[in-house]
Chains A and B, each alone.
Chain A
């Protein structure tokens, strides 16, 4: 598979027909498939009956119209059967909703902020401890950005990472997360409404100014999972992708430590810069 590691078909593939199973513990894939098959079966019955009718009851075959136009019994049948099917689907879906709403027991909190037209990620808390100033902007990576300009004549197919064609699905700095960890996301909007969506996580959640939404994921396997903003947010709505890089826990701890150190160094530099005596401006 031409994927940069991770779960097969977690990212959009050429000519993909169906929803991804995803890479997370919570996934609506199963329910989607049940609903799809229910629809297919009902469709075969109903359309089948229609085609039989169209064949058998044609005037050109000499069919004579019958006179009946009512049957209470039949109408009860096709009210009750759908109700039973719906109850079954509703039960399934209620289970999915309940487990999705349960953000308790998370080991990590990340705040996601949507801006026109980039994302900001702030690591708030990890393993019960606050994270010190680890946060960054994440925006469309530069070669996609050049290619997507009107009449750029650059070839979107050329943009690849490890053989996966990442046009419009890659960023300058991905969100790095540990696998096997229940992560709670706090999602807000910085200016207008955006929506944070990575299909491999199984959900999207709107990023709304003034409202703190929450959602969670627990990724099963390391990999790079790509998504996009899913709420129209202005002219570059199509150009603010999301990349989640899931790494083994140890690797993540190391990464986080480096980030924290860098943040400290940066902060020191900033304090220095804020002091005009030590930081002359050119």
Chain B
């Protein structure tokens, strides 16, 4: 009976189900699913990282020493796909799962079973994607952007397309869940403009996801039918247009890069006020900036295509629109600095990663601004300058924010404090090595080294070697991260307080550490001054 099905018998006990299978595979609990997402993305981070090590090893010096060029291309393609769809995006979803209900005072996500499904699709999608590496003909080797006609030469395209469809379904379901939770499940008194910036950033990101994942699905489906069903969407010989694919892809792709940075903005906006012991500067402007960046992200896609020979009017439009993004992005950076100004700062690991984020993300923004100037982009485009740009925004931006978040909320998740000394060692090792790794790539690009090449002229030798050394060092540093997390969860003796950080505000710090299996069964009573940014009336 339909009626009976809606009447679940909830286990209201404050402990998790006993069996491993029951607890993890059948889970509908936002915290357990959040944990699954986080473990999954950390695994993918190491797999994608291993691919990067292959790339940097081959590029260590001129000449081909380790792998065939085709395999090199498989590595660059897989590295990007795994990092974007496997590491960065799922870890943000994991953080959303864990923290959004705790931050808005909801007992769980709005759609717990769909939540289970969104997660469990991911391992299948990635098994399929990674499995192509072991198939005859190899994995995808046309770059993560999958431009036809090249991508259609690969034999693995059907698998990749199916994997992308699965990831898209997972993301869309996750996004629906997040929107439903935020809009419907807030505790009384948690007005929209009292929500933590992290929750705001995810609300906006979720709309971006719903808007663009279907576009990607459409683009790759057209690849599939072009390859196997004799359509000619992108086939010039059949009246199609290869550039059409690029327009569709980047209509997805540019919002996608903001999907990977807006939640990071949210995280940083939580952490800096905590360790500056001062509320976020200009809360409303911060929210408005995120919303305007999200809007602008839909009208700048062709800045990835300045060299495809667009009409001049189009180049001018996309150039101006792209430059505009620097304005709200600038507001965010200035406001973070103002939050620190006049504060009372301490520098625990989450704060260190956040400060590094602000500086290094801004460097990525600077190169972004330079890339936005179309005539200069005729030089920069598809060189290592672009590689440096997007790694500054993605590694020292998105990935650093995730690490900051992990250190920040680990005490709440595990009930223990991580080892601060080792956390700081991880930070310093990462922040130095990541600059050794990526800063010289600006020089390489400006000097004329194209991206996605397995070998290069000897003029590029020194900076490549430096970059590779930084790469191995950065990769090794992440093993420290793994060690700190494992130690914190399983071995640390230091109990975390409910309010694990002196300056921490917000509902998540009012529940015990570790957060019990069920929280906020009864909606909390909200006192404005307990919220990190609650007091927004001036």
Measured CB to CB, the nearest residue on chain A to B305 is: A206
> Which residues of B (117-173) have their CB < 8 Å from a CB of A?
141-143, 147, 149-150, 153
* Other-chain contact of B459, A70, A101, A165, A204 (Cβ < 8 Å): A165
Q: Which residues of A contact B333 (CB under 8 A)?
A: 46
| CB pair B450 A192 closer than 8 Å | no
Measured CB to CB, the nearest residue on chain B to A63 is: B344
Q: Which residues of B contact A28 (CB under 8 A)?
A: 373, 375-376, 378-379
Measured CB to CB, the nearest residue on chain B to A9 is: B447
* Other-chain contact of B382, A16, A149, A195 (Cβ < 8 Å): A195
B346 within 8 A of A: yes
B319 within 8 A of A: yes
Per-position binary interface string of chain B over residues 63-77, scored 1 when its CB falls under 8 Å from any chain A CB and 0 otherwise: 111111110010000
Q: Bound complex: CA of A236 vs CA of B70, how far in Å?
A: 8
Q: Which residues of A contact B214 (CB under 8 A)?
A: none
Measured CB to CB, the nearest residue on chain A to B324 is: A86
> Which of A58, A69, A169, A192 has the most chain B CB atoms inside 10 A of its CB?
A69
Q: Bound complex: CA of A31 vs CA of B454, how far in Å?
A: 30
Per-position binary interface string of chain A over residues 79-118, scored 1 when its CB falls under 8 Å from any chain B CB and 0 otherwise: 1001100100110111011101100000000000000000
> Which residues of A (214-263) have their CB < 8 Å from a CB of B?
214, 227-239
| CB pair B538 A203 closer than 8 Å | no
A157 within 8 A of B: yes
Q: How many residues from B make CB contacts under 8 Å with A?
A: 99
| CB pair B327 A90 closer than 8 Å | no
Per-position binary interface string of chain B over residues 429-469, scored 1 when its CB falls under 8 Å from any chain A CB and 0 otherwise: 00000000000000100111110111111111111000000
B112 within 8 A of A: no
Q: Bound complex: CA of A98 vs CA of B311, how far in Å?
A: 11
Mark the stretch among B236-244, B253-261, B470-478, B487-495 that contacts chain A.
B236-244
| CB pair B457 A165 closer than 8 Å | yes
> Which residues of A (13-31) have their CB < 8 Å from a CB of B?
13-20, 28, 31
Q: Which residues of A contact B375 (CB under 8 A)?
A: 28, 31, 93, 96-97, 100, 203
B338 within 8 A of A: yes
| CB pair A50 B345 closer than 8 Å | no
Q: Bound complex: CA of A172 vs CA of B66, how far in Å?
A: 27
B334 within 8 A of A: yes
Measured CB to CB, the nearest residue on chain A to B385 is: A19
Q: Bound complex: CA of A19 vs CA of B442, how far in Å?
A: 10
| CB pair B334 A70 closer than 8 Å | no
A277 within 8 A of B: no
> Which of B62, B367, B538 has the most chain A CB atoms inside 10 A of its CB?
B62
A66 within 8 A of B: yes
Given known pairs A79-B327, A156-B458, A238-B456, the reply for A208 and B243 (CB within 8 Å) is yes
Given known pairs A208-B242, A210-B241, A232-B452, the reply for A14 and B462 (CB within 8 Å) is yes
Q: Which residues of A contact B503 (CB under 8 A)?
A: 65
Q: Which residues of A contact B339 (CB under 8 A)?
A: 69
A132 within 8 A of B: no
Q: Bound complex: CA of A208 vs CA of B234, how far in Å?
A: 11
- Min CB distance B518 to A, Å, is 34
> Which of B331, B337, B362 has the most chain A CB atoms inside 10 A of its CB?
B337
| CB pair A238 B370 closer than 8 Å | no
Mark the stretch among B35-43, B183-191, B203-211, B275-283 that contacts chain A.
B275-283
Measured CB to CB, the nearest residue on chain A to B358 is: A50
| CB pair B383 A230 closer than 8 Å | yes
A43 within 8 A of B: yes
B315 within 8 A of A: yes
- Min CB distance B359 to A, Å, is 6
Q: Which residues of A contact B347 (CB under 8 A)?
A: 54, 58
B342 within 8 A of A: yes
Q: Bound complex: CA of A233 vs CA of B316, how far in Å?
A: 28
Q: Which residues of A contact B343 (CB under 8 A)?
A: 53, 57, 63, 65-66
- Min CB distance A267 to B, Å, is 28
> Which residues of B (401-449) have their CB < 8 Å from a CB of A?
443, 446-449
| CB pair B64 A232 closer than 8 Å | no
B308 within 8 A of A: yes
* Other-chain contact of B149, A46, A63, A191, A205 (Cβ < 8 Å): A191
> Which residues of B (265-320) have their CB < 8 Å from a CB of A?
276-283, 285, 307-309, 312, 315-316, 319-320
| CB pair B327 A97 closer than 8 Å | no
| CB pair B277 A50 closer than 8 Å | no
> Which of B143, B149, B378, B457 has the most chain A CB atoms inside 10 A of its CB?
B457
- Min CB distance B263 to A, Å, is 22
| CB pair B457 A231 closer than 8 Å | no
| CB pair A19 B379 closer than 8 Å | yes
Given known pairs A97-B312, A150-B64, A232-B452, the reply for A193 and B355 (CB within 8 Å) is no
Q: Which residues of B contact A90 (CB under 8 A)?
A: 319-320, 323
Q: Which residues of A contact B374 (CB under 8 A)?
A: 93, 96-97
> Which of A20, A32, A101, A210 has the most chain B CB atoms inside 10 A of its CB?
A210
| CB pair B448 A43 closer than 8 Å | no
Q: Which residues of A contact B340 (CB under 8 A)?
A: 50, 53-54, 57
B341 within 8 A of A: yes
| CB pair A235 B150 closer than 8 Å | no
B228 within 8 A of A: no
Per-position binary interface string of chain B over residues 361-381, scored 1 when its CB falls under 8 Å from any chain A CB and 0 otherwise: 011001101100111101101
Q: Which residues of A contact B66 (CB under 8 A)?
A: 150
Q: Bound complex: CA of A157 vs CA of B61, how far in Å?
A: 11
Measured CB to CB, the nearest residue on chain A to B61 is: A156
- Min CB distance A168 to B, Å, is 5
Q: List 6 additional A-B contacts (Cβ < 8 Å) besides A15-B463, A50-B355.
A: A70-B282, A71-B338, A82-B326, A192-B149, A193-B147, A209-B242
B contact set with A: CB distance below 8 Å: 62-70, 73, 141-143, 147, 149-150, 153, 236-237, 240-243, 276-283, 285, 307-309, 312, 315-316, 319-320, 323-324, 326-327, 330-331, 333-335, 337-347, 355, 358-359, 362-363, 366-367, 369-370, 373-376, 378-379, 381-383, 443, 446-450, 452-463, 503, 533, 538
Q: Show 11 A/B contacts (Cβ-Cβ < 8 Å), sorted by A.
A: A15-B462, A46-B337, A57-B276, A58-B347, A59-B345, A60-B346, A82-B327, A97-B315, A204-B307, A205-B309, A234-B142
Closest 10 CB pairs of A and B: A210-B236, A96-B375, A238-B453, A213-B309, A203-B378, A16-B447, A39-B366, A66-B342, A12-B459, A69-B279
